[in-house]
Chains A and B, each alone.
Chain A
Amino acid sequence: DAKTTQPTSMDCAEGRAANLPCNHSTISGNEYVYWYRQIHSQGPQYIIHGLKNNETNEMASLIITEDRKSSTLILPHATLRDTAVYYCIVRVWETSGSRLTFGEGTQLTVNP
């Protein structure tokens, strides 16, 4: 699986958009970009994933650059409950299940 690089920490004001960057310059053509988050003391939570097109769901938007070497997770209106460690993971889609390789992630702190 390709290695990812994320900032260690970020701050965001409540109600504003949180934009979390991720670099994955060695991503392969068949690797997807996944985002998970871990709120303190809870299990990781799936947020969104994409291959090359931008994606949006009820939680967030995922913007992937045209060369696929980087992506940005956008939380459009951050709330205090969005304070968590956000993990960007790149991996191949496998039918029989595959590991998630977690890095250090970005600690997002949403401030009132």
Chain B
Amino acid sequence: DTAVSQTPKYLVTQMGNDKSIKCEQNLGHDTMYWYKQDSKKFLKIMFSYNNKELIINETVPNRFSPKSPDKAHLNLHINSLELGDSAVYFCASSNQGEQYFGPGTRLTVT
């Protein structure tokens, strides 16, 4: 059973397009996160939701909009994609303490 799943695994799209990445967790956790790992391999937090409420919103362009329809899901919608958005995006979830990460979505903007 997959604990934290993301779709799609790979996403190739052109500049200016709008795309969404979906995340689901079946761990019963209250908190979910989006992290971005760039080409230099640095992992950085983007957003965090607790019980569908936004609690962390890092300095991320407002082209990025997270949406949490329920506790088990946290989706990431990106408008007007730019070349610099190319990265691997990881979803994670936790209750307290340790976080469990999904397999990542590799986004390539051409």
Chain A: residues with CB nearer than 8 A to chain B? Answer: 32, 34, 38, 41-46, 49, 85, 93-102, 104
Contact = CB atoms under 8 A, between A and B. Distances in A.
A6 to B, nearest CB: 14
B96 A95 contact: yes
Contacts of B43: 38, 44, 100, 102
Contacts of A49: 97-98
B100 A46 contact: yes
Interface stretch (B14-22, B77-85, B101-109): B101-109
Nearest to A85: B41
Contacts of A95: 96
Main secondary structure of the interface of A (DSSP, over half): loop
Which one of A38, A43, A45 has the greatest number of beta carbons of chain B within 10 Å?
A43
Given A97-B50, A97-B56, 18 more contacts: A42-B104, A43-B102, A44-B43, A44-B92, A93-B96, A93-B97, A94-B96, A95-B96, A96-B30, A96-B50, A97-B55, A97-B95, A97-B96, A98-B56, A99-B58, A100-B35, A102-B43, A104-B42
A112 B27 CA distance: 36
B48 interface: yes
Given A49-B98, A93-B97, A97-B50, A43 B104 contact: yes
Interface of B: 4, 30-31, 33, 35, 41-45, 48, 50, 55-56, 58, 90, 92, 94-104
B98 A46 contact: yes
A96 B98 contact: no
A11 to B, nearest CB: 19
Given A41-B104, A42-B103, A43-B104, A97 B33 contact: yes
A43 B50 contact: no
A43 B92 contact: yes
Nearest to B32: A97
A94 B33 CA distance: 14
By Cβ-Cβ distance, the 7 closest A-B pairs, closest first, are A97-B31, A43-B101, A99-B45, A102-B43, A46-B98, A96-B50, A44-B101
